[in-house]
């Protein structure tokens, strides 16, 4: 019965809209550094893809929630500074 109550949902991410949003933010804040928060896989929209668009548009730093998210970006050859918003286990 549960299957009958669910609706198919999806999100289509237009990376050019992200680029436009960054351009508008930069226009409003001037020469202020911007940190792109891409935790939770870019809120489910693809952290690596979103990160590349952000970095290509003068965002110089990214932020993630967990060490595994930071490692995912490094594994994708993203080399900018990454801020971890969550706890880093002591053994790292």
Higher pLDDT, 3 or 1: 3
Nearest to 49 by CA among 17, 25, 27: 17
User: Residue 15 falls within a domain, yes or no?
Assistant: no
Q: Which domain holds residue 79?
A: 33-92
- Domain-located, residue 82: yes
Instruction: Kindly state whether residue 39 falls inside one of the protein's structural domains.
Output: yes
pLDDT, tens digit, 9 for 90 and up, residues 38-71: 988 867 778 999 999 999 999 999 999 999 999 9
Q: Strand locations in 1-92, DSSP E?
A: 35-37, 61-64, 82-84
Query: How many structural domains does the chain have?
Result: 1
Single out the residue of 51, 46, 53 nearest to residue 80, CA to CA: 51
């Amino acid at each position: 019965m549960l299957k009958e109550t669910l609706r198919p949902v999806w999100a289509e991410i237009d990376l050019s809209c992200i680029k436009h949003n960054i351009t508008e933010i930069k226009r409003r804040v001037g020469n202020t550094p911007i940190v792109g928060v891409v935790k939770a896989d870019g809120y489910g929209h693809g952290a690596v893809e979103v990160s590349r668009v952000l970095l290509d548009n003068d965002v110089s730093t990214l932020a993630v929630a967990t060490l595994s998210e930071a490692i995912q970006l490094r594994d994708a050859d993203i080399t900018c500074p990454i801020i971890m918003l969550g706890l880093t286990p002591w053994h790292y």
